[in-house]
Amino acid sequence: MSGEGEKKQSESDGPASSPTPGTRRPGGRTARTRTVVRDAVLAGLGELGYPGLTVEYVAARSGVHKTTLYRRWGDVEGLVADALDLAGEDSWLPPDTGSLEGDLRALAREVVTSFTEPATGASGSAMIAAGFQSERAATALRAYYVERFARCETIVERAVARGELPAGPEGAAVDAGALVRAVPAPLLCRLFITREPIDEALADQAAAAALAAARAGVFTPGRVAPGRPTGDASAPPRQGG
């Protein structure tokens, strides 16, 4: 199922979306091999999950010889980690709707789309599952998300430039990393930890919650704000992400 889905994936590839490829980059023979192998790995993860994935499957699906796979990627763990590394090399850019609120909502909706769409959701979920079974996959996942969130910080920079966010004392800026991490968290937590369903309404709520916290100064280092304009010295906001 996810095998047929690669073409669609760039559309729903998001900041915390299923770690699947965005638009393809031109590249030589080696780059093309890496891409077909990555596609086969994602298809296998979607179909069989991490425990079921084998080098034999990837060889059969990609048409790349087993010996080449063993030589370049070592084993299944290496194949999965590289597929994640490659997913992080796509050309995805965060939404740019002209307002902080619109950007955060679009970001949250991308998360819902990418994980509820069968083609991208299966391999993305399997990548996250792999993080529990492989140290290298966990390390690659972390690098993937750190890089994704870094791209998302432009959303916050644009909002600050538009004067949509409050500045802290001595103009301390909002912690962009903390703000963009706040958007997908409630959705990913429901999907993979508490196992509760998500939908567009919850995406909008997640975006609104992150925005409210940002406006209250929760993500602005040094700005005292537990949620009301008056602030509360007993709850200094902390720097996250």
Footprint of its own copies on this chain (CB under 8 A)? 16, 49, 51, 101, 105, 125, 128-129, 131-133, 138-139, 141-142, 145-146, 149, 178, 181-182, 184-186, 188-190, 192-196, 201-202, 204-205, 207-216, 218-219, 225-228, 232, 234-241
Q: Which is nearer to its own copies, 62 or 175 (CB)?
A: 175
Question: How many contiguous H segments (helices) and E segments (strands) does the chain have?
Answer: 11, 0
> Smallest gap, in angstroms, from Cβ of residue 68 to its own copies?
28
User: Who contacts 210 (Cβ-Cβ below 8 Å, separation ≥6)?
Assistant: 104, 179, 182, 183
> Smallest gap, in angstroms, from Cβ of residue 11 to its own copies?
21
> Smallest gap, in angstroms, from Cβ of residue 49 to its own copies?
8
Please tell me the distance from the alpha carbon of residue 9 to that of residue 137, in angstroms, as a whole number. 20
Question: Where do we find the tokens 């009301």?
Answer: 228
Q: Which is nearer to its own copies, 69 or 178 (CB)?
A: 178
Q: Which is nearer to its own copies, 36 or 150 (CB)?
A: 150
**At CA 131, angle to CA 145 and CA 8, rounded to 5?**
60
Q: Which is nearer to its own copies, 118 or 236 (CB)?
A: 236
Cβ neighbours of 165 (radius 10 Å)? 21
> Smallest gap, in angstroms, from Cβ of residue 154 to its own copies?
19
Q: Which is nearer to its own copies, 64 or 187 (CB)?
A: 187
Element (H, E) at 53: none
Max intra-chain CA distance, the chain: 65
Contact 77, 58 (CB under 8 A): no
> Smallest gap, in angstroms, from Cβ of residue 198 to its own copies?
9
Q: Which is nearer to its own copies, 27 or 169 (CB)?
A: 169
